[in-house]
Structure 1
Amino acid sequence: MKVKRLLSGLLALVMVLTATILPASAATTFPDIQNHWAKSYIEAMTAAGMFKGYEDGNFKPENQLTTAEALALCARTIGLDSSTTMDIATDYYDTVKTTLNNEQTWFYQEFSICLATGILTTADLKSLYQSGDLTDPIAKEDLAVYLVRAMQLGPMAERLTSYPLTFDDASSISADAKPSVYLLHVYGIVEGDEFNDFSPKLNVTRAVMATMLTRAIAYMQAHGTSPDLPEYTDYAFRQGVISSVSTTNGVIQLSLNSDLTGAAIGTVTLPANVTIYENNMETTSSALKNGRHARVCLDSSGTPFAVRVSGELETFTATVNGIDGKNVAVTADGTGRLLTMDRFTQVQIGTKTTGDYSIVESGANYTTAVCKLDDQGRLVAIQFTGGTSTTEGIFADYTKSSTSSANATIQLIGFDGVTRTYTIPSDATITVDGLVDSLSSSLKDSYVILRLLDEDASVQSVSVDTKSNYVQGVIKSVDSSDDTISITRLSNDRTATYDVTSSAVITYDGETTRLKDLDKNDFVTILLNESDDATMIQAYPSSTTTEGTISERTFGSGTDTTITFVVTQKDGTKVSFKVDLSDPPVVERDDEDSTVDKLRVGDEVEFTVRYGDVTRIEATTQNVNLTGTVERIIQEKSGYTLEMLLSDGEEVSYTVDNSVSVTQNNKEVALSSLKPGYKLGLAVNGDQVVAIEIQQAVNTGNKVSGTILWVDYAQDLIYLRATTDTGSEEMVTVEVPSSAVILNASTGKSLVLRDLDTGNVIEVNGSYSGTIFEATIILRQ
């Protein structure tokens, strides 16, 4: 039986190919090779420990090699160090064991290397085992294929479109083997016999194998061949398409553009001693050319030590058939392909989210992928489209659309404590407890799952679970001896204590942890059972940061002293932050100390949330990219329409929201101060004005009125929600000097600043000084 033959064959191979490395001077002279044509090759390979003689002292050069023996020798030809070899053997142990039907597990190491380095695929090994070919003599053309792969030339062979062979028996070489035979012939590994025949079907002898191995190893050493195994390296790297190359005193400046977007990603300085590889072989800096792909390998100090160069990336669009771990099954031009993502693969989901393969969701149902492969057939970059992703959180607020066809909005408090705002299209699927339903504010505190389209983060469906009982808050204390956790609940600011079940799943920042390892002030989301015991705890750091652009700013009503900022992140997600004017965070704007009232729509910001509250805001104003003169200003309910003549002569019109930042001489002024004839610098993003810089005049307004948001008695400041002539609102900071007169408008009675409070309606006369309105007379209505 073939299985029995395999057992005996593999056992013989273990005896023949014992990995004893001998110095060249210790080479054994076998009696039966003294006049053999391959004597020098046999002695070289014996000295290298690739072969050993038989117990009778002979080498037996004409004995035939089995496929398994040849594969083992090819694996050793690669020259991996012992640590990498053991890592590979460990990783592939189960695969080899399963493929070989649990037989001969003592010989898994060489097969593991074959699988890890591309000499064989798992399907190849399975086929060889099941057919019994592993223990059959190997044909010369089959060895050619395996040896080329071991020499790291497999991808080159696959890319060849022309491989003229001069052997007289070239027509008898299998089509699949011809490219490999061609490369071995070109590089001097194989030659024709006295009849100029390659003899592709001839069984390989030990003498022929020793000869081919000697020449192959010599070639690899001469060309500095170095296998590129992503999963068995840990160096940092930068990679992209070369956009320019310059050399000064032996130092190379290499500029790279992103493989995914084409945007410039920076310049790398290559030291004179950097090693450059192409096709896994050492080459010169002449390989660094515009349009080619390069991966710059960095040592622990960030200094480049090698560059892996590929030609222009092969790019194609494919239909995604399925994803299994790192493997992506696609169809391109009617042909199925299996692509593997590794640590070097750049991944983009939709048009925004980028990262490595960890951001890929197997259940996202991606429909299309743009794939980019290097010369080695490695997947350098892949952009998935048409897929969806999920996000979860606790229902915090809901704003109903004004019409049935308009969009609504929902706010979710994420498990990390950050409140995010999502627009719900009118055609989104809504289910509540598994049944098609509609959204309402009554669903507050329910668990929600959103499915988002990757391209634009638009909501495709909303699933609400009102049956499960979730609570959120900040940890006040943990008692691991009693298995209890106490939190300050987010919903009512009260302390609650919960028993934690023995089977509770507990995570911190996505990683499994223990109850005793949770810290005070961590933000937690807890799932409770019917007995109000915690069965799941998801904890996150007490401090989180969110970056983006301020897209909305709204004030509280009545006695509400808060301002809500909506920050739009790069992926389109909107995150909401409430800031209490009675306890404002630290604010820094353009690297200078500032205050909350100076923040404007369009500012690039980073919000820091600690223990559930905003504690710091760092803001950067938008840079001016257009200049011109105001020709006409039209007041609208939501702001102003500016008709302008730009410096290049173009006439434009912009609608400007009241929350847009307006400055002059680095000081804030009111939007209402703009007048025809003013020269302005505009920061424009698309068709939206996000910031205005007055380059000519200052604010001339002498009266503001509105509702007090907050009074800072220590600083003698009033934060006023001012009402413009059109009925819209803007925030004004009013400074109240000791000379200011404060009166009750109805009685004329004199008042002091402490007589004013949140919610009071006032009229203030005075004048602007930059961003501050200095009061002379205040009338409390």
Structure 2
Amino acid sequence: MKGKRLVAWVLTAAMAVSLLTVSAAAVTFSDMTNHWAREDVEYLASQGVVQGTSDTTFAPERAMTACEAVIFCSRTTGVSATDKAKIFQKWALTLQAIMPASLYSWAGEEMAVCLETGIISETELRSLSQSGGLVKAISRENLAMYLVRAMQLEPMAKSLTNYSLSFADASSISPALQPYVYMLSSYGIVQGDQYNRFLPDRSLTRAEMAVMLRRAMDFMSERGLYAELPAFTDYEWIGGVITSVGVAGDGGTLLTLENPLSGNISVSLPTSIMIYENNMLTNASALRTGQYARVNQNARGTAQAVRLSGALTTVTGTVSSVDQDRISLTVEGASRSYAIDRFTKVQAGSAVGGPEVIDAQAGYTTAQCYVDAMGHLAALKLDGGSRSEQGILVSIVETAEGQNLQVAAFNGETQRYTLPVGGTATIDGSTGVLSNAYVGDYVTMRIKNDSANQLDSVAVDTVTQYIQGVVRSYSSSNITISNTTTNVAQTYNLASGVLVQYNGEAISLQKLERNCFATARLYGGQVAEISAWPGSTTTRGTLESITYGTPTTLAVRTADNSVVTFEVDLTNLPTILRDGEASSIDKIRSGDVVTVTVRYNRVAVLETYSQTANVTGTITRVVQDTNGITIDVALASGGTMTYTVPDGVSVTQDGNAISLYTLKFNDKVAMVVNGDQVNSIEVQGGGSSTQLNATVLLPNASDGTLMVQLENGTVLTVDVSKASVVSTAGGGMTLNSLKVGDSVQIYGNYSGSKFIATLVLKL
């Protein structure tokens, strides 16, 4: 392997290296004449990878200290000078606390690279430093471990279960270090002496280190090995277990991946793509089903490289601690710990993303860790605990279950949360009781991750003043905001150094868009901080439920599996489209694909598309409980399935809403079902009541229908096309005379599940 040129990234890193204090401008050393390692030493010196002890000497037989040897290993990693400076900044304070000043002054920067690339752990470095081991000679077997790590081959070494060492003194090599020695021996990086001895306890000379370093670099150049550092990369990526490998239309490879958290995705790989297995370059034959693959992409979404890392193993345990860098958990009484990086897909509660979705204060209870064969945490699912959200309190409604809070988020979306009886509330840091006296104040909430909107606790800040509204104009000294609640515009002075964010990112004041939605924090009567968002936001997903009332709440499940709620005022409805045509709110159904457009804190447009029923059958059993009803359905395709149908799921007959609780034995149903979740039901059959006591939700004269809410909370669409409408106060009325919230008695009969009214009496 001698004579091979090092790849450019190695040279870039190597030229920035400076281990010893004396510069070596020459490439020949007087003490290397006729030395067996001369070629390797002088080649590496010419590349700036190693340096002499003076301008003319190398001291080839001098023993390497552990500090020197570990730093030599860092020169194989391919870390650029730019990244090295960033890495040093990251680790500087840690290294100052661990290393003696005499070592830190010249070895700190490269030791930081060793920590970042995994050549040595913080615990190992601390132990060596405290014992004085950093300045002691390093043994050949310990050097083997550090060099294998530098070459990014430790996962392979750890996975070895059946191997044989051919050295005459193999039995004297420490068992824990034998896999590392085997790896280096297999690739020709270490060799035995004239008696085929490895001499594991013997110290390592500078000449021996240089030869091993050259061999390692040549091997890495051949196999494409380098240290890929997640924290210092910014390309897009997708990952998952390979479920199929096919041929793409352009002659490349079509790869289908299944991610344990985000489902299936297909990606086309060009014929020229770089494929790595065990960190080493390979070819398309390595793309096998069952392996975890990470596909790195450029800014246009084109696949640039594939990194294969074996099958995933699922580890489930109780969370001991977790932050955005590491999780520790207890698995069957034993402790496990995994590093988290930006190549780890994370689900925390309903949020799916990267490490940024982890809340260290959440109190997660259990975790599922999906670990690849190289020991990397590919995916992490955290359950239990709570998440933090904040906003401005809009209203509080007292209920038997607790308090319903309506909160406006900083982006203008308004959501409703429930603080159950016994829930914790603090007012300015002291335990208190929530009331509408705090409307307009800033609130911080802890929300249960296993619930869409149930709170663990809520904290109110009455001291800090916030204003929400539309930015009408601003200058370098003031800003005018139109309050979305009062529609009154007011001008506020800007504090010196005002902080401005737009869409969650810091910007300069000059880049703030007019007519955006903003939440402004006041300090001393001046605006000190502005959190701004586009005046119009769009949310897409599946309509999970509709809860009619004043206001009516729509729950939308988005692509990342989170649930966002929107409130609609039935007296001031948004534009509603269904299947591309103008419609009304009584026609939309849970299970519809929906796009919700919010403008300045109000739902402006609801665009829905109906889903085609994918399950048909006949109800064979109905069980009612506090959570809704459970039905057994004899499927038209054969077999029987059981479904739990919660309140909020749309149940219709002939396109009109009927009561969930009128479902009965032998009803034929056509349902939209996702897994075991029922999104909507179309039925035939019904009840037998001839009188309904209800509250008006929506009169629809054009359709001759009246949407009402029964005393038990059920929402029903009544056919009033042939009904008389009268008032107990005397005299006839028109359907349009009825208002939202009016109490009515409706007389008539069911036709199947549809109630046909003959008389509507306004009370």
- Is TM > 0.5 for Structure 1 vs Structure 2? yes
Shift of 1:116: 2.1
Residues 535-562 of structure 1: per-residue CA shift (max 9 Å, x gap): 6554433223344525234255xxxxx7
Shift of 1:93: 4.5
Shift of 1:248: 7.3
SS of the residue corresponding to residue 294 of structure 2 reads strand
Alpha-carbon contact 2:414-2:565 (below 8 Å) kept: yes
Residues 674-715 of structure 1: per-residue CA shift (max 9 Å, x gap): 999986422356888643447x99xxxxx9999887789xx9
Whether 1:662 aligns to 2:655 is: no
Residues 292-321 of structure 1: per-residue CA shift (max 9 Å, x gap): 211112233322222111122344334444
1:521-670 superposed matches below 5 A: 521-527=515-521, 537-546=530-539, 547-556=541-550, 563-567=552-556, 573=563, 575-582=565-572, 584-628=573-617, 646-647=635-636, 648=638, 660=650, 662=652
Residues 518-576 of structure 1: per-residue CA shift (max 9 Å, x gap): 544433445556x76556554433223344525234255xxxxx755455667675624
SS of the residue corresponding to residue 308 of structure 1 reads strand
Give the aligned CA root-mean-square deviation in angstroms: 5.1
1:455 is aligned, of 446, 450, 454, to 450
- The answer for the alignment partner of 1:150 in structure 2 is 150
Change (3 A) 1:548 1:409: farther
Shift of 1:239: 0.6
Whether 1:348 aligns to 2:347 is: yes
SS of the residue corresponding to residue 15 of structure 1 reads coil
The normalised TM-score by structure 2 is: 0.79
Change (3 A) 1:82 1:512: closer
Shift of 1:472: 4.5
Alpha-carbon contact 2:720-2:758 (below 8 Å) kept: no
Shift of 1:358: 0.7
1:448-487 superposed matches below 5 A: 448-457=443-452, 459=454, 461-465=456-460, 467-468=462-463, 470-475=465-470, 477-483=472-478, 485-487=480-482
- The answer for the alignment partner of 2:360 in structure 1 is 362
The letter for the 2-side match of 1:372 is Y
Whether 1:730 aligns to 2:729 is: no
Query: d(CA) in 1 for partners of 2:358 and 2:710?
Result: 49
- The answer for the alignment partner of 2:257 in structure 1 is 256
Query: d(CA) in 2 for partners of 1:344 and 1:188?
Result: 32
Change (3 A) 1:635 1:125: closer
Structure 2: where are the runs of 5+ without partners? 1-16, 686-690, 749-753
Query: d(CA) in 2 for partners of 1:84 and 1:634?
Result: 63
Alpha-carbon contact 2:348-2:358 (below 8 Å) kept: yes
Shift of 1:643: 9.8
The letter for the 1-side match of 2:233 is T
Query: d(CA) in 1 for partners of 2:628 and 2:76?
Result: 74
- The answer for the alignment partner of 1:317 in structure 2 is 316
Residues 252-297 of structure 1: per-residue CA shift (max 9 Å, x gap): 3322111x34x74122222222222112111233332222211112
Structure 1: where are the runs of 5+ without partners? 1-9, 21-26, 557-561, 698-702, 767-771
Shift of 1:609: 1.0
Moved more, 299-308 or 44-53: 44-53
Query: d(CA) in 1 for partners of 2:138 and 2:630?
Result: 82
The normalised TM-score by structure 1 is: 0.78
Change (3 A) 1:685 1:119: closer
Residues 37-83 of structure 1: per-residue CA shift (max 9 Å, x gap): 33443444344443455657455433333333333332222344444
Moved more, 640-649 or 197-206: 640-649
Residues 7-34 of structure 1: per-residue CA shift (max 9 Å, x gap): xxx997132667x9xxxxxx64x56545
1:696-711 superposed matches below 5 A: none
Query: d(CA) in 2 for partners of 1:313 and 1:643?
Result: 37
Query: d(CA) in 2 for partners of 1:632 and 1:586?
Result: 40
Residues 330-362 of structure 1: per-residue CA shift (max 9 Å, x gap): 455666555322110111214x32211111112
The letter for the 2-side match of 1:377 is G
Query: d(CA) in 2 for partners of 1:172 and 1:674?
Result: 77
Shift of 1:121: 2.4
Query: d(CA) in 2 for partners of 1:176 and 1:635?
Result: 62
Residues 751-777 of structure 1: per-residue CA shift (max 9 Å, x gap): 9999888789999999xxxxx999999
SS of the residue corresponding to residue 228 of structure 1 reads coil
1:379-398 superposed matches below 5 A: 379-398=377-396
SS of the residue corresponding to residue 13 of structure 1 reads coil
Moved more, 52-61 or 277-286: 52-61
- The answer for the alignment partner of 1:244 in structure 2 is 244
Shift of 1:440: 5.0
The letter for the 1-side match of 2:543 is T
Moved more, 232-241 or 205-214: 205-214
SS of the residue corresponding to residue 375 of structure 2 reads coil
Query: d(CA) in 2 for partners of 1:495 and 1:283?
Result: 65
Query: d(CA) in 2 for partners of 1:577 and 1:762?
Result: 24
Query: d(CA) in 2 for partners of 1:743 and 1:179?
Result: 88
The letter for the 2-side match of 1:589 is R
SS of the residue corresponding to residue 446 of structure 2 reads strand
Query: d(CA) in 2 for partners of 1:522 and 1:312?
Result: 48
Moved more, 273-282 or 586-595: 586-595
Query: d(CA) in 2 for partners of 1:613 and 1:196?
Result: 80
1:402-417 superposed matches below 5 A: 402=400, 406=401, 409-417=404-412
- The answer for the alignment partner of 1:378 in structure 2 is 376
The letter for the 1-side match of 2:70 is L
SS of the residue corresponding to residue 20 of structure 2 reads helix
Query: d(CA) in 2 for partners of 1:273 and 1:334?
Result: 47
- The answer for the alignment partner of 2:20 in structure 1 is 13
SS of the residue corresponding to residue 316 of structure 1 reads strand
**Number of equivalent positions:** 740
Residues 372-425 of structure 1: per-residue CA shift (max 9 Å, x gap): 3334332222222343222233333444444xxx46533323233322222344
Query: d(CA) in 1 for partners of 2:703 and 2:295?
Result: 56
The letter for the 2-side match of 1:346 is K
Residues 415-439 of structure 1: per-residue CA shift (max 9 Å, x gap): 3332222234445334555565555
Query: d(CA) in 2 for partners of 1:14 and 1:148?
Result: 27
The letter for the 2-side match of 1:152 is Q
- The answer for the alignment partner of 1:178 in structure 2 is 178
Query: d(CA) in 1 for partners of 2:664 and 2:317?
Result: 56
Moved more, 227-236 or 366-375: 366-375
SS of the residue corresponding to residue 487 of structure 1 reads strand
Query: d(CA) in 1 for partners of 2:114 and 2:340?
Result: 19
The letter for the 2-side match of 1:554 is Y
- The answer for the alignment partner of 1:6 in structure 2 is none
The letter for the 2-side match of 1:231 is A
Query: d(CA) in 2 for partners of 1:718 and 1:379?
Result: 59
The letter for the 1-side match of 2:220 is M
Query: d(CA) in 2 for partners of 1:122 and 1:651?
Result: 55
Alpha-carbon contact 2:362-2:386 (below 8 Å) kept: yes
Query: d(CA) in 2 for partners of 1:115 and 1:658?
Result: 54
Query: d(CA) in 2 for partners of 1:630 and 1:32?
Result: 93
Query: d(CA) in 2 for partners of 1:634 and 1:505?
Result: 56
Query: d(CA) in 1 for partners of 2:522 and 2:476?
Result: 20
- The answer for the alignment partner of 1:5 in structure 2 is none
Change (3 A) 1:650 1:197: closer
Shift of 1:184: 1.4
The letter for the 1-side match of 2:670 is G
Moved more, 564-573 or 341-350: 564-573
1:33-112 superposed matches below 5 A: 33-52=32-51, 57=56, 59-103=58-102, 105-112=105-112
- The answer for the alignment partner of 2:7 in structure 1 is none
Alpha-carbon contact 2:548-2:715 (below 8 Å) kept: no
Change (3 A) 1:626 1:335: closer
SS of the residue corresponding to residue 137 of structure 1 reads coil
Shift of 1:370: 2.7
Alpha-carbon contact 2:542-2:556 (below 8 Å) kept: yes
